């Protein structure tokens, strides 16, 4: 898994030093370049006026010294004239500085809405239809019996372990209620993911509500404002993924290179409005507004990034294999990458009851895009100064779709669900979900 050695950054300096590469990368994403052209103009004008302001400030400082010299020499008329000149120049400087601030804010807004540049080795393509299936593991379409072709929402209702009707009563559609061993399965899947990654990843339990700047750091704001749950009274956001607080854990900090890669993992509930999803794959657990997930994330140097990316992908695959699920690895094309990502591999699990490949994990390398927004740096062991870290993450296990694939894949002819051996330690001695567990 190779990565280009040139760092991907939407640093305003690149608008004048590497503009063609920026435009080429954004063109691969299908981005309208008119906003980049506007950013170029904004950056040039801001830089020009900033130089004017700095010159005026220098002249004001010089005039202040001249005023003092005139007063010490007894030339009060000259002192007053120079003081008047200094005040007028200072007023003009403040007006121009206000314009610099406006231009800087407009430029920042454009760049905050501009996605990351895709990695050189990300496939070309305009949409999900151009994504590349790298390989498929454990899938044989002829190996599934009729009993496995029942969708999980029917299995859940038959066994009394998934209550969509009462979830809708409590909170509205797409808020499921898990019951009995269905609820145990939710917790077991999360604990399995934590246990499998505890050898290398520090467990964190971050807050589920975060500030706006925490959401901005990962790129979820301002672009995805309509998909978030915002508590206006407190100006806090319900996290859509633990990626958000984990990425900002070291915000505005300088790390030591010796501490990298720094690996973190977290179980959290996640909240997403799923804007625009109405009518598309909304049955059962295919799309929900609240779900549990274990996220694994790392800060790394550019040289470490490829190895860390491969490790996160291998760990996410390992959990799916441990659960006895068929899955495939999909290399996302440039046009289908998330806004912050430079390279992403999706893991799609096969659910025989739905007869669908369901996205279960996105394993992404963000280059320095997120860390630049969050101002996360490291001090190289050799040399001077600081450098921006790279961030990488992936879902170690996201519950809803994996839950669905487990109950569909492991359903038996008698209607019971066999539990994968990896989950036995979390089920209080049970080895299956029996068919008689449903309420009358």
Does the annotation list 67 as a binding residue? no
Query: What number is the average pLDDT over the span 140-156?
Result: 97
More confident residue, 7 or 181: 181
Instruction: Give residue 96's pLDDT.
Output: 97
254-256 β-sheet, strand order:
254-256, 377-379, 387-388
Does the annotation list 257 as a binding residue? no
pLDDT tens figures, 374-386? 999 999 999 889 9
Does the annotation list 295 as a binding residue? yes
C-alpha span between 418 and 347 (Å, rounded):
23
C-alpha span between 337 and 306 (Å, rounded):
17
Query: What number is the average pLDDT over the span 114-139?
Result: 97
Q: At 53, is the secondary structure helix, strand, or coil? A: helix
Residue 3's pLDDT band, with cuts at 50, 70 and 90, is very low
Please provide the DSSP assignment of 345-380 as one string.
EEEEEEETTTTEEEEEEEEEE-TTHHHHHHT-EEE-
> 181-192 as b/e, with b when 16 or more CB fall inside 10 Å?
bbebbbebbbbb
Q: How many CB atoms lie within 10 A of CB 11?
A: 15
Sign of the dihedral defined by the CA atoms of residues 52, 58, 61, 65, in that order: negative
Q: Is the pLDDT of residue 83 over 50?
A: yes
Q: Is the pLDDT of residue 305 over 70?
A: yes
Query: What number is the average pLDDT over the span 205-219?
Result: 96
Q: Enumerate domains of the chain plus CATH numbers.
A: 32-112 (1.10.287), 128-437 (3.30.930.10)
C-alpha span between 225 and 237 (Å, rounded):
10
Nearest Cα neighbor of 85 from 106, 74, 70, 97 is: 70
Does the annotation list 175 as a binding residue? no
Q: Is the pLDDT of residue 5 over 60?
A: no
pLDDT tens figures, 169-207? 999 999 999 999 999 999 999 999 999 999 999 999 999
Sign of the dihedral defined by the CA atoms of residues 31, 368, 215, 197, in that order: positive
Residue 97's pLDDT band, with cuts at 50, 70 and 90, is very high
Query: What number is the average pLDDT over the span 7-26?
Result: 81
Does the annotation list 288 as a binding residue? yes
Q: Is the pLDDT of residue 423 over 50?
A: yes
Residue 1's pLDDT band, with cuts at 50, 70 and 90, is low
Strands 254-256 vs 377-379: parallel, antiparallel or unpaired: parallel
> 259-298 as b/e, with b when 16 or more CB fall inside 10 Å?
ebbbbbbbbbebbbbeeebeeeeeebbbbbbbbbbbbbbb
Does the annotation list 382 as a binding residue? no
Sign of the dihedral defined by the CA atoms of residues 119, 29, 401, 393, in that order: positive
C-alpha span between 279 and 274 (Å, rounded):
11
Instruction: Give residue 166's pLDDT.
Output: 97
pLDDT tens figures, 19-40? 999 999 999 999 999 999 999 9
Does the annotation list 202 as a binding residue? no
Counting residues of the chain whose pLDDT is more than 70, the rounded percentage is: 95
Query: Is residue 324 left, alpha or beta, with left meaning phi > 0 and alpha meaning psi from -120 to 50?
Result: left
Q: How many CB atoms lie within 10 A of CB 417?
A: 24
- What is the pLDDT of the chain when averaged over all its residues? 93
Does the annotation list 92 as a binding residue? no
Distances (CA, A) of 389 to 7, 97, 247: 10, 32, 11
Residue 11's pLDDT band, with cuts at 50, 70 and 90, is confident
Instruction: Give the pTM.
Output: 0.91
Q: Is the pLDDT of residue 251 over 90?
A: yes
Instruction: Give residue 7's pLDDT.
Output: 35
Q: Is the pLDDT of residue 2 over 70?
A: no
Beta strands in 169-315 (DSSP E): 177-178, 202-204, 209-210, 229-231, 236-238, 254-256, 262-271, 290-300
pLDDT tens figures, 263-296? 999 999 999 997 445 556 779 999 999 999 999 9
More confident residue, 8 or 286: 286
More confident residue, 263 or 224: 263
Q: Is the pLDDT of residue 436 over 80?
A: no
Does the annotation list 83 as a binding residue? no
Does the annotation list 289 as a binding residue? yes
pLDDT tens figures, 32-76? 999 999 999 999 999 999 999 999 999 999 999 999 999 999 999
């Amino acid at each position: 898994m190779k990565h280009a050695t040139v760092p991907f950054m939407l640093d305003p300096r690149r608008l004048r030093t590497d503009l063609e590469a920026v435009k080429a990368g954004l063109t691969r994403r299908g981005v309208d370049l008119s906003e980049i052209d506007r950013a170029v103009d904004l950056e040039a004008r801001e830089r020009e006026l900033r130089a004017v302001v700095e010159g005026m400030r220098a002249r004001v400082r010089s005039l202040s010294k001249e005023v003092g010299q005139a007063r010490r020499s007894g030339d009060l008329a000259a002192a007053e004239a120079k003081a008047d000149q200094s005040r007028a120049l200072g007023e003009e400087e403040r007006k121009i500085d206000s314009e610099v601030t406006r231009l800087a804010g407009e430029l920042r807004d454009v760049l905050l809405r501009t996605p990351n540049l895709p990695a050189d080795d990300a496939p070309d393509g305009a949409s999900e239809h151009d994504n590349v299936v790298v390989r498929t593991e454990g899938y044989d379409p002829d190996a599934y019996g009729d009993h496995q072709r029942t969708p999980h929402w029917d299995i859940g209702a038959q066994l009394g372990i998934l209550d969509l009707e009462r979830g809708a009563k409590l909170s509205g559609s797409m808020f499921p209620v898990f019951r009995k061993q269905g609820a145990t399965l939710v917790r077991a899947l999360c604990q399995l993911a934590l246990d499998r990654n505890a050898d290398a990843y520090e467990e964190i339990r971050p807050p589920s509500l975060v500030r706006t700047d925490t959401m901005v750091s990962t790129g979820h704001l301002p672009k995805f404002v309509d998909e978030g749950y915002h508590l206006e009274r407190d100006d806090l956001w319900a996290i859509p993924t633990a990626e958000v607080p984990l990425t900002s854990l070291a915000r505005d900090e300088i790390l030591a290179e010796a501490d990298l890669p720094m690996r973190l993992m977290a179980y959290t509930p996640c909240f997403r409005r799923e804007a625009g999803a109405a009518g598309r794959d909304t049955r059962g657990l295919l799309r929900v507004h609240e779900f549990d997930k274990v996220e694994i994330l790392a800060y790394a140097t550019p040289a470490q990034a490829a190895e860390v990316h491969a490790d996160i992908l291998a760990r996410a695959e390992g959990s799916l294999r441990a659960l006895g699920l068929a899955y495939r690895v999909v290399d996302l094309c440039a046009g289908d990458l998330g806004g912050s990502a430079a390279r992403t591999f999706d893991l799609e699990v096969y659910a025989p009851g739905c007869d669908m490949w369901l996205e279960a994990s996105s394993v992404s390398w963000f280059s320095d895009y997120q860390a630049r927004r969050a101002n996360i740096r490291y001090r190289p062991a050799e040399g001077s100064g600081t450098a921006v870290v790279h961030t990488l993450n992936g879902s170690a296990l996201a519950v809803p779709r994996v839950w669905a694939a487990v109950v569909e894949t492991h359903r038996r002819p008698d209607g019971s669900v066999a539990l994968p051996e990896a989950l036995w330690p979390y089920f209080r001695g049970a080895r299956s979900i029996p068919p008689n567990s449903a309420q009358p």
